[in-house]
Structure 1
Amino acid sequence: MAKANTYLNFPGTTEEAFNFYKSVFGGEFTFLQRFSDTPEGNNLPEADRAKIMHISLPIGEGTMIMATDSLESMGQKLTVGNNVYVCLSADNEAEADKLFYGLSQGGKIEMPMEKTFWGSYFGSFADKFGICWMIDCPLETQA
């Protein structure tokens, strides 16, 4: 069954926020990728390249908080309501599709389910009640 984690969007302050959270929760970041490390990183303004594309911090047994910087240069606009997502981690693509297509009915799809450059089968949407969701299935966990 899927695991639920919290995904946060920040207006360019992800690194500062997560260093603060790390000082409170302890532990180490399990993943940190900057926009400069992505396939389109060189096409971004210089000031945005060092921003955080994805970061993860475990905060307890099987639970983590994750985040990204929302970049206006990429057409992203951060507003209250889209700055917090529920991220469901599925065990396989079939489960990911079931969750995605079930929860997104009547909602607004941001990114359809697809295989990504970071090694996941992933999609995101706001449901018909305005709740933002991410469905993630790491491809290396599949047989």
Structure 2
Amino acid sequence: MKRQTADLVRALATVNKHMPRVSTELLTGAMTAERQREFAGLLFGLASLLTSHADEQEPKDPVTLVDRVRATGRELLRLATQLEAEAVSGPNLQEVGRLLRALAEVLDLYGGKLPIPPATADPPEPPSP
């Protein structure tokens, strides 16, 4: 078994071990906001490991512009969720900043190479009153 798979299985077991207590504490209102954020951190870590594991399972085709935009979009959605849960650190924000800069560079490079759609000969009709 690959090390990454073993790490993922351990993370799943850790989250599974905490689920009964977390569920009970949430239902009874006994779980503090801080403990909720800590558990959210475990879930974010698990989600990150699972995403990485899934990415490793896919064939290594050349990275396209669509792939880069999709991957950056996923990271932004993950970061937004972490920000909502107040479970994000400075290095996480810096990493997303690097991703966005890299994406901007790729978009600049591809922007000049994409075909320009032909202009229509007639302007659109204005709506009738």
More helix by percentage: 2
More strand by percentage: 1
- The reply to whether TM is greater than 0.5 is no
Q: TM-score range by the shorter chain?
A: under 0.3
Q: Of the two, which has the highest radius of gyration?
A: 2
Task: Tell me the TM-score normalised to structure 2 length.
Answer: 0.23
